[in-house]
Amino acid sequence: MAIQTVGIIGAGTMGNGIAQACAVAGVKVVMVDIAQAAVDKGLATVSGSLDRLIKKEKLTAEQKTAALALIKGSTNYEDLKGAQLVIEAATENHALKLKILKQVDEMLAPEVIIASNTSSISITQLAAATSRADRFIGMHFFNPVPMMALVELIRGYLTSDATHDTVKELAERLGKSPITVKNAPGFVVNRILVPMINEAFFVLSEGIATAEDIDAGMKLGCNQPIGPLALADMIGLDVCLAVMEVYLEQFGDSKYRPCPLLKEMVAAGQLGRKTGRGVYTY
């Protein structure tokens, strides 16, 4: 089944980014959010992002117009019925995602595939909230979606080969490079990335080097485009801490113990870029 129309639940950073990637590739999009203001903001974000691509001469004005024409914003879940794939890209909240997934599962035709853009929640658990565990998959895009090539395709316990292959074909059509991942806490990228960030906080707290030198060491020595501490500020220190706490709980392994400095900074409200201060001041 070739996917011609994609439904997206959530018009925030990830949702509108996925919408843009689909529309630029010629795929129709229905982007749904609970408030019209959120939908309008999402559409405006896409328009602004496309304008920046025009300035960089990576897109023409005609291509922008064509892409925007493929995106329909809505506050009505009923508008998702014409999609062959619906991607849930709501806030990373387990209870909220379960509520949304149950609602759309009851409304959509049985053959429609549902995907979640979750970065941490079990795909098998989310799939169990629906009547189509075989047609449920994780489709984890990375921020900023239009620029980042990677998509993690996470197979739940019952995800079928046909579902995986259909979604993989779409990801490739969007110009992405998908990797296939088994269902496990953090999947692949965050499983490796967040403990590395946590270890950088241990190095900082032990006074082994300054934050600037830690980041410079990883950039120059490991060819990373951004150091782990600066990246933590970008992600949000509270998010990094929450992920480490999930790993510690689910794996029961002390190697996932969050660094006390990270916990202290979060308790102090120094969460990174979004609060103006984290490891660095913004």
- Among the options 16, 88, 120, 140, which is catalytic? 140
140 is catalytic: yes
User: Does 97 appear as a known binding residue?
Assistant: yes
User: Does 274 appear as a known binding residue?
Assistant: yes
User: Does 227 appear as a known binding residue?
Assistant: no
Distances (CA, A) of 162 to 136, 155, 231: 11, 11, 36
- Among the options 16, 183, 190, 198, which is catalytic? 190
Q: Is 146 helix (H, G, I), strand (E, B) or coil?
A: coil
User: Does 221 appear as a known binding residue?
Assistant: no
- Among the options 88, 152, 183, 198, which is catalytic? 152
User: Does 236 appear as a known binding residue?
Assistant: no
User: Does residue 151 contact residue 143 with C-beta atoms inside 8 Å?
Assistant: no
Question: How many helices (H) and strands (E) are present in the chain, helices listed first?
Answer: 11, 8
Residue 195 host element (H or E): helix 189-205
CA gap 27, 70 in Å, rounded = 7
User: Does 92 appear as a known binding residue?
Assistant: yes
User: Does 223 appear as a known binding residue?
Assistant: no
CA gap 162, 165 in Å, rounded = 5
User: Does 15 appear as a known binding residue?
Assistant: yes
- Among the options 117, 119, 120, 198, which is catalytic? 119
User: Does 255 appear as a known binding residue?
Assistant: no
Per the listing, tokens 């032990």 go with 206
152 is catalytic: yes
User: Does 12 appear as a known binding residue?
Assistant: yes
Distances (CA, A) of 144 to 46, 54, 147: 12, 17, 6
CA gap 18, 49 in Å, rounded = 12
Q: Which residues are annotated as a binding site?
A: 10-15, 33, 49, 56, 92, 97, 119, 143, 274
User: Residues with catalytic annotation?
Assistant: 119, 140, 152, 190
Q: Which residues are annotated as a binding site for NAD(+)?
A: 10-15, 33, 92, 97, 119, 143, 274
Q: Which residues are annotated as a binding site for CoA?
A: 49, 56, 119
